Structure 1
């Protein structure tokens, strides 16, 4: 690489730099730094990287040109291009390229052990438009309170204690990943607009765009924000965006070192609360990855199937207080009990849903009996969820959806023409049991229609849609079945004000009815 000289450059200083003058060396007067000073700075940079010097190299002096006295200025230097140019401010990074932490993490993570490579963590700051959408501190606190009072109750993968202790402090509001998480919280708490029902609002587009800007930060907050965006898309029926966002989140989790080989270098966590948070983030990803494909088995999952020795989330209430007890952990192979955390039971159901979808993708047309074991396990889990003092709606509806998904091939066809088999007979029994349960709880006790829309999860949409469709396709409906269908459709109308996918399912039911009348 050639260094520009005074003869090859139109921009040169009128006099030699001070360093060359003091050493009585010939100076090529190149701007902004002469060749001698440039070569000397390069040598000093190499000496710093080899010796890990923490100070500035004594030979690495700035190249400065002094402005000549006004009386000695010649005509050739009177133009603006030829006047005195001050040397750029001396910066310790000006002589070599600073490499970002994620780049080293992927190209050669072993270098990070020695701490001799300077890394850069700069991320583009939030724009005024983003900050305006986010609102002031009071609005942020209201959004956080709503989030932890509603969404967090059935999808707890953000540490409540760490959030309030750290991210609500004014000093953190300049961090782009914190701003992104706060923006995603505001998005997930937003109801669909009353006018045009499209959930692709300005807030949605702004959050998606800002996620792309911030993702280079390689922060768990950015991953949590991505999961909230995916949940928003799933709850409002935004496809294929929901499917693609979940896949992107899975890759981001791998980049962070979550659920990967221990040999992969990543940020070290030093508290049990952080370890638990990373575990919950992974399980939330597994839950979404399975549920997003519940209506269309066959597409590969973005996350691997959980193993029986994988740890489940710890006690939800204790974790919210910042307490994680190592002796209270349970695995997927642990017996299911009503004392397990609510989120842990949903995670177990998500693992079974994954097995159901794998079965439907590969084996359901054969005569094997794999579906029997899945049926028994899901039924046992449903019994555990129902036989407690305060049954949880979100757990029960998730299990219902997984159980109904197992019999979707039978439910989606004309049951009267289905070839009689153990599978079809069991499908009718399951349909009737769920119908009876809905009639007892949904209609008589009104446990569903009277709920606050902000508390409702989207887990029950799929099983409600399939139950309605199966009864609508049936030639003869009993009075009880007719009441269940009517109540479920009223429930979809109520949920539609919170989750737009309920309105989509209503349209699909109407399409089924039109097709049936047409035939």
Structure 2
């Protein structure tokens, strides 16, 4: 062997290389301050000395690590989802799944839900009947299945269900678990994920905050539901019986979730009509939730399709009637917000709206008697809507100078509603009606009925009116052990009586 060959030392060629595009400066610079690839993508060239005979430098490895690349890919997919939906649908068509790490307080609060399912029974027996947007069958088969590893979105949903089903929270509504779940929901928002189960957890959190009068969080959470639901396209689920890419059951669950958001959005504004609701009214051809009994039996395919323009019947089910009552409540808001062309036009509009509310109330009461439901939330929402429609103090005086007239609509309906709520209060005191049957959607009409009796006592001095007001207030105190919002309403009754603001 040639000695010169043995002593030859191969010196690797060292030349500057751009770490953004992995091209040598000689290949990509060509006399320009930046390489063409970096100019195309708006990047700054960063040159390091590169050994052609060696692998990528540690700096390059760090900049192109798999974790960082995957993160950037997920962020890009979400950007495309919002910036160009057509491109997203035709190229990616799927957002990344949620990835979260939960804190110890949240995990200890949930516990072993595969074996301890008392809260599941409580949820489906107390909360679910008035707001049935979860498929009980799918929840049991897919989320509670011990053979299926729990996904982060499912854990969030389970946590909010348990929080809502906890009837006697020891630390009050603003407990440690509440803040842990809120923190996890905020983390889910920042994790580049949009999932139906996360939205359903947010809806349950909104119900919890409304029921326990956690403001302004409740108002903001409902608004968050609207935005999240719109991002998922749930507002379109009420227009189509079966959506592309979803089964009939999945479409029904998405549709019910959107109706739940719409109901909360309308109900949230009852105390302050100056606030505008965030969800637009569905079209008259919009699809209502199917009958609740069919939903529970998982027979969606055989269910008749009911649309919003159809007259209400008991065959529609409780949640369908709740959705229709929320639409009518929205019409009442519009009647109050939009100045009419003339007094005659406004009076006719009020009469028609009032008659429609009366008809829906009758159907709701009949449906409750038929199915053994003591307190039907569609009825109480209709009561609140009628009382609002005829409450002259909540009209703008400058725009509705004729709203003070009371001769075109009989006012004795207010006493009828108040008497009905008084009977409910007496049933609560006697124990024949459990506070668990009262949903947060019932509380406003109960409160307004107490205000009616208080006003009548102030006007006439009749002791029976004062006793009726006190009885309803006492019932609210009892309900307050389950829903703190009821206790707040009871305090407001005291404030009205003391100040004379009736």
Q: TM-score range by the shorter chain?
A: 0.7 to 0.9
Counterpart contact for 1:411–1:466, Cα < 8 Å: no
CA RMSD of aligned residues (A): 4.1
Matched, 1:26 2:13: yes
Counterpart contact for 1:157–1:281, Cα < 8 Å: yes
Matched, 1:450 2:432: yes
Q: Pick from 468, 476, 483: which aligns with 1:499?
A: 483
Aligned residues: 451
Q: Pick from 167, 180, 183: which aligns with 1:206?
A: 180
Counterpart contact for 1:192–1:499, Cα < 8 Å: no
Counterpart contact for 2:114–2:145, Cα < 8 Å: no
Aligned equivalent of 2:73 = 98
- Distance in 2, matches of 1:438 and 1:454, equals 16
Counterpart contact for 1:448–1:491, Cα < 8 Å: no
Structure 2 unaligned spans of 5+? 1-8, 28-36, 38-51, 396-400
Counterpart contact for 2:291–2:303, Cα < 8 Å: no
- Distance in 1, matches of 2:290 and 2:274, equals 32
1:157-192 Cα shifts (integer Å, max 9, x gaps): 111111111111246554211111111112212346
Cα distance, 1:203 vs. partner? Answer: 1.5
Aligned equivalent of 1:8 = none
Counterpart contact for 1:125–1:174, Cα < 8 Å: no
- Distance in 2, matches of 1:299 and 1:258, equals 23
Residues 105 and 481 (structure 1 numbering): CA distance in 2 closer, same or farther, change over 3 Å? Answer: same
Give the secondary structure class of the aligned counterpart of 1:137.
Answer: coil
Matched, 1:407 2:414: no
Q: How does 1:242-253 map to 2 (within 5 A)?
A: 242-253=218-229
1:63-82 Cα shifts (integer Å, max 9, x gaps): 6499xxxxxxxxxxxxxxxx
Q: How does 1:26-425 map to 2 (within 5 A)?
A: 26-27=13-14, 64=55, 97-100=72-75, 101-115=77-91, 120-121=96-97, 123-138=99-114, 141-170=117-146, 172-191=148-167, 193=169, 199-215=173-189, 216-260=192-236, 269-325=245-301, 328-363=304-339, 367=343, 368-369=346-347, 370-387=349-366, 388-389=369-370, 390=372, 392-394=374-376, 395-409=378-392, 423=406
Residues 328 and 508 (structure 1 numbering): CA distance in 2 closer, same or farther, change over 3 Å? Answer: same
Cα distance, 1:473 vs. partner? Answer: 2.2
TM-score normalised over the length of structure 2: 0.78
Cα distance, 1:122 vs. partner? Answer: 5.2
Give the secondary structure class of the aligned counterpart of 1:308.
Answer: coil
Aligned equivalent of 2:443 = 461
- Distance in 1, matches of 2:94 and 2:14, equals 32
Cα distance, 1:462 vs. partner? Answer: 1.1
- Distance in 2, matches of 1:313 and 1:38, equals 64
Counterpart contact for 1:297–1:358, Cα < 8 Å: no
Judge which range, 182-191 or 293-302, deviates more. 182-191
Residues 38 and 262 (structure 1 numbering): CA distance in 2 closer, same or farther, change over 3 Å? Answer: farther
Residues 34 and 476 (structure 1 numbering): CA distance in 2 closer, same or farther, change over 3 Å? Answer: closer
Residues 223 and 39 (structure 1 numbering): CA distance in 2 closer, same or farther, change over 3 Å? Answer: farther
Counterpart contact for 1:192–1:199, Cα < 8 Å: no
- Distance in 1, matches of 2:133 and 2:26, equals 53
TM-score normalised over the length of structure 1: 0.75
1:346-398 Cα shifts (integer Å, max 9, x gaps): 11001001111222223499732122111101111111122343455123222
Residues 240 and 64 (structure 1 numbering): CA distance in 2 closer, same or farther, change over 3 Å? Answer: same
Residues 64 and 304 (structure 1 numbering): CA distance in 2 closer, same or farther, change over 3 Å? Answer: same
- Distance in 1, matches of 2:402 and 2:430, equals 35
Residues 99 and 391 (structure 1 numbering): CA distance in 2 closer, same or farther, change over 3 Å? Answer: closer
- Distance in 1, matches of 2:392 and 2:185, equals 38
1:471-494 Cα shifts (integer Å, max 9, x gaps): 212222556544432321121011
Aligned equivalent of 2:452 = 470
Structure 1 unaligned spans of 5+? 1-20, 41-45, 47-60, 67-83, 413-417
Cα distance, 1:421 vs. partner? Answer: 6.3
